[in-house]
Structure 1
Amino acid sequence: MISAAVIFFLRVIDMSIDTMRMLFVIRGKRIIVWILGASQSTVFFLAVSQALRGEANILTTLGYAFGFATGNVIGMMIEERLAIGFQRVTITIPHDDGKMADALRKAGYGVTEVKAYGRDGEVTMLHVNCKRKQVDDVESIVFSNDKKAFLTIDDFFPVRQTGFWRK
């Protein structure tokens, strides 16, 4: 029973680190990836060693499997809290009196306005590039100005962080 619990917790740690490592790989953070990779492989080795040390039974198998699954979810939760990276919020509004863009600019965000045509005619698309931690603030500004605004959010990777950054 204790062995299964140890395996479970080692796998939770292992997979939480692994999930974070993969998310940093996508963002190109080499040094962080190296540190996380070394840590993850050490914990993985300890988990596998513990699992292979005794006889395989249902508890050690479940500890290994559930630790793996739980570690993935916890890794995602950690990454969401860290909110590392940048996102582009695209706001589509059918009517444009300029208030939405002004409110976003007053809050310190850079806004690019684009006139476009949708199913029902002309629309305005506003593009706001911001840090992931700022997306909730952008959303609250948008929906306080227009509850029917349509938003899409995309991850992106800036080539340079100069010129257009406001906040």
Structure 2
Amino acid sequence: MISALIIFIVQLLYVPILTLRTILAVKGMKKQAAAMGMLEGIIYVGALGLVFSDLSNYMNMIAYALGFGIGVYIGGLVEEKLAIGYVTIEANIPGKNNMLINRLREIGFSVSTSEVEGMNSLRYRLDCTARRDREKEFYEEITKYEPTAFVASYEPRNFKGGYITKAMKKRRELFLKKKRNKEAV
């Protein structure tokens, strides 16, 4: 029974590491992915060794499978919290909303606008690339100003130039400082 518990706990560690290693590799972060891969390999061999040491013990196999399944869930939660990388967001709105555009820029988002032809009318498209951990914030701001907007996001693999620089970070820090000062009053 103790070996089944150990296998279960090891799987809870192993699978989130596997998830992160995969994400790091997909995002092109080779060194970090390699380090996670080494750790993953050590844990994997240990857990599998325990299972294979007694194939007649079904509790070990069940613990392995259960730990793997729950580990996948935990790995997803960890990845969601870390939000590694960037996201490109496109918002299609009925008209040019300068208040929304200015607000997004004020809080540190890069926003490019263009007039696009919709099915029955001209519309405006806002394009933004931001860190993934700010995607939800972008959606919240869009919803406040344009509740009927069509918004889609995707993860770019590579990008070059543009607004994702130190200036964007400085603008965000300035916004947060102003917000804290207002809350303190």
**Structure 1 position 164 matched with structure 2 position 143:** no
| Deviation at residue 33 of structure 1 after TM alignment | 0.6
Partners of 1:126 and 1:159 in 2: CA distance: 18
Inter-CA distance 9–106: structure 2 relative to 1 (3 Å threshold): same
Identity of aligned residues (%): 23
Q: Distance in 1 between matches of 2:104 and 2:132?
A: 16
User: What is the CA distance between 1:34 and its match in structure 2?
Assistant: 0.9
1:1-167 correspondence to structure 2 within 5 Å? 1-160=1-160, 162-165=161-164, 166-167=168-169
CA RMSD of aligned residues (A): 1.4
**Partner Cα distance (1:53, 1:79) in 2:** 33
2:172 paired residue number? none
> Which whole-Å CA distance do the structure 2 matches of 1:83 and 1:89 have between them?
15
CA distance in 2 between counterparts of 1:2 and 1:112 reads 58
Aligned-pair CA distance for 1:20: 0.7
Structure 2 regions of 5+ residues with no counterpart?
A: 170-185
Cα deviation for residue 41 of structure 1 reads 0.4
- CA shift, 1:50, in A, is 0.8
The residue that corresponds to 2:183 in the other structure is none
Q: What is the TM-score of this pair, normalised by structure 2?
A: 0.84
Task: Name the SS for the 2:117 alignment partner.
Answer: strand
- What's the CA shift for 1:49? 0.9
* Structure having the larger proportion of residues in strand: 1
Q: Counterparts of 2:30 and 2:96 in 1: how far apart (Å)?
A: 43
Distance 1:142 1:33 in 2: 35
Flag the structure with more relative contact order, 1 or 2, with Cα contacts below 8 A and sequence separation at least 6.
1
Cα drift, residue 35 of structure 1: 0.7
Q: C-alpha separation between the residues in 2 aligned to 1:97 and 1:144? A: 12
Amino acid of the residue matched to residue 123 of structure 2? V
Kindly provide the amino acid, as one letter, of the partner of residue 146 in structure 2.
Answer: D
| CA distance, structure 2, for counterparts of residue 122 and residue 8 of structure 1 | 57
User: How far has the Cα of 1:86 moved from its partner?
Assistant: 0.2
CA distance in 2, matches of 1:20, 1:106: 33
Aligned partner of 2:149: which letter?
A
TM-score (norm 1): 0.92
SS at match of 1:153: strand
Runs of 4+ in structure 1 off by over 4 angstroms are: none
Q: Which AA in structure 2 matches 1:82?
A: L
The answer to which structure has the higher helix fraction is 2
